[in-house]
Each structure stands twice: as C-alpha cells, then as structure tokens.
Amino acid sequence: MRHLYNPIIPECICLFVGLPVLLAMLPRRLNPIPILLVTASALLIALLNDPSFDRETLTRLPDLSHNLMRILAPLPVVALLMIALLYWLVPKELFKFIRRKPRTWAGVMVIYPFVSVIPQTIIYRVFFMHRYAYLFGNGWGMIAAATAAFGIGHVVFRHPVPVIITAIGGFIFAFNYHTTGSAPLSAIEHALYGDLAFTIGYSYYLYHASVRTVEAVIEK
C-alpha cells in the first residue's frame, strides 16, 4: 500500500505507457526520433538536478575489454535466430535493406546510435531504473519493469513484431545495465544489436523512424 498514492506512479504510467500508446493511436504516423531527443533531453536535465543520481553512470566504463566480450559473445546466436525469424515472417526482406539501399544502410549504421540509441539509453535505463527504483526495487522486479517499458515504447510501430523483439532486447540491455551501471556500455550494446537488426532486414518493421531520418540527412 505504500506505493498507492505516490505521484511517480501516474508519472510512470503516463510517460512509459500513455505516451507511446497515444502516439500509436494518432491517425498520422509521426517520426519518433524528435520525440525521443526532446524526451531524453528533458529527463537527462531532471537526472542532473537530482542529488541522489550518480552522475558517473553517464561516463562509467568498467573493465571495457571483458564487458565487450560478454556483449559480443551472444551476437552470432542472436543473429542466427533473428535471420530465422525474419525468414519465417517475411523472407523477401532478408538483407533487402543493405542490398537495395547500401548508402542509406551505411548512414543508419553511423547515425542510428546517436539519434536513437543514446536517447533510449537515457530514457529506458538511466532514468527509468533510477527514478522508479522506489516502485520496482533494484533487482529482478526492476529488470522486468524496464523490459516491459522498452517493449511498450515500441507500440508506436503498430505491429507486434517490433514490440516482441525489442522486449527481448530490452531484457538483455536492462540486465547488463543493472549489472554494470554503465550508460556508455549499455548504449554500445544497444547499438550493436540495433545495427544488426537493421542489417538483417528488420527495417521493414522500423522503417519510418531511424531510416527515414537518415534518408532526410543524406538527401540534403
């Protein structure tokens, strides 16, 4: 009962359930990248003004060589599973992005981590796992909550596949962030998995976000 009247409960629901659901219900699809950037900036300011927040989280890189190997080790298995899933769902999309639009693909590999991964790291791990520790604790409850929030955040794509695959990724990212307390390491991990997804062909489901943003930059 101690959480019942805590004002951060409606805040959490509005930010991490209400906002993505509202964006998904709009009659016209919006590019979520500007929304991500504005939201991440606002939440980062809130964190920096919170005296209980450990600012070293934003720069900490613990035992980089060991942790990078831990991140890279599952990638071949994950890649094979993602290839098999996309082949089962929409085989014509497998590696179509890199084959048909190599210039845009190269741009996504470079730009996507900055315009999408870093904001999501701030929102769904640094902010969420600090701000709502009072609600979900600092263990498996928090990891589960952060996983759910990350998956729900992708309802803006109006398809179950992005929600499912990002929830799986969200669990991996939340678990490793919880273990290391390192935002840069979490962003590197997220970027590797995200770039892998785009390379395999999951841009079919995520096209109107990072890909269109990169295309707009290239066309200019």
In a domain, 1, yes or no: no
Tell me whether residue 23 is exposed, middle or buried, using C-beta atoms within 10 angstroms of its C-beta: 0 to 12, 13 to 18, 19 or more. Answer: middle
Please write the tens of the pLDDT for every residue from 128-181.
Answer: 999 999 899 989 999 999 999 999 999 988 889 999 999 999 999 999 999 999
Whether 205 is covered by a domain: the verdict is yes
CA distance 123 to 35: 11
> Which residue is associated with the tokens 């991990």?
189
Is 15 part of any domain? yes
Percent of the chain scoring above 70 in pLDDT:
91
Query: Could you list the residue range(s) of the whole structural domain that residue 67 is in?
Result: 8-219
How far apart CA 21 and CA 154 sit, in angstroms, is: 9
CB 154 within 8 A of CB 16: no
| 45-74 confidence digits (pLDDT tens) | 999 999 999 999 999 988 777 788 888 888
C-alpha torsion sign, points 23, 20, 95, 164: negative
Helices of type H across 18-61: 19-25, 32-48
Residues 172, 197 contacting (CB under 8 angstroms): no
Whether 201 is covered by a domain: the verdict is yes
2 pLDDT above the threshold of 60: no
SS3 state of residue 28: coil
Answer yes or no: is 3 within a domain: no
Domain tally, the chain: 1
Proportion of the chain in helix, strand, coil states, percent, rounded to 5: 80, 0, 20
Per-residue pLDDT at 129 = 97
Residue 27 lies in a domain: yes
Q: Each residue of 197-214: pLDDT tens digit?
A: 999 999 888 765 555 555
45 located within any domain:
yes
